[in-house]
Amino acid sequence: MRNRAICAGLEPDELDALGQLGRKQRVAKGQTVLWEGDDSVVVANVIEGVLKVSMSISDGREQIVGLVFASDFIGRPFGQQSPYSVTALTDAELCIFSRSTFDSFARQHPELEHKLLRRTLTELDRAHEWMLLLGKKTATERIATLLLEMSARLGETGCSADNNALDAFELPLDRQQMGDVLGLTIETVSRQLSLLKADGVINLPDRRTVAIQDRARLQDLSAAA
């Protein structure tokens, strides 16, 4: 996992030093790790599991604005407040650092600061891609894109950056949450999944399992560039 995490590029002694600053923590499904608007006191690297990043408006409605997978980094280094909440969609394991301690370590290690900058730019690119998805893609294209994204991210191995996309996987999101992510109603999500199944593109053995039967067709339907 280190090959994909922000600590990639650190020397072994630097990795050991960083490791001594952190602690592993198990997080139960449904547990919130960071709260929107709270002081940003910790940052963390995801070891395993899937978490959602969400923001809310004044009437309490929530919008899921991102998903976090193994090797991803959460929290706001060098920031005072968390702009979003992060909640576990599955049981997860994190390596947690005090933000102030992590910030001090990063300032002393330019390679880590460089990785943080690259992470920020990658997140910006993802935000632009998601704006395109929400603004221009059809419901079918949105569902296909999300399924391919989860297939790829859940298939990443713990020791390599290679993409071993899964043909069958358990959805970390329920139908309502998929709708929240994609800007669709739960009825539209269910209908689109049923249509993909009827067309032989995917199979749905149960409510949470997806089996991709025709990946090329799913890629075509995602309107991937």
Q: Would you state the pLDDT for residue 89?
A: 93
Q: For the chain, give the percent of residues with pLDDT over 90.
A: 52
Q: Chain-centre distance of CA 134, in angstroms? A: 17
Q: Would you state the pLDDT for residue 6?
A: 67
Mean pLDDT over all residues of the chain? 86
Q: Output the CA angle 161-166-169, nearest 5 degrees.
A: 125
Domain ranges of the chain: 12-130, 138-221
Residue 50, exposed/middle/buried by CB under 10 A (0-12, 13-18, 19+)?
buried
Is 138-221 CATH 1.10.10.10?
yes
Cβ within 8 Å of residue 191, ≥6 positions away: none
CATH superfamily membership of 12-130: Jelly Rolls (2.60.120.10)
pLDDT band at 65 (very low <50, low <70, confident <90, very high): confident
Rounded Cα gap, residues 84 and 65, in angstroms: 9
Tokens describing residue 3: 């090959």
Residue 173, helix vs strand vs coil? coil
Q: Which helix (H) or strand (E) holds 162?
A: none
Q: Would you state the pLDDT for residue 158?
A: 43
- Is residue 71 over pLDDT 70? yes
Tokens describing residue 152: 């790829």
Q: Are 88 and 70 in contact (CB under 8 A)?
A: no
Q: Would you state the pLDDT for residue 7?
A: 66
Exposure string (b/e) for 58-94, b if CB count within 10 Å is 16 or more? eeeeeebbbbbbbbbbbbebeeeebebbbbbbeebeb
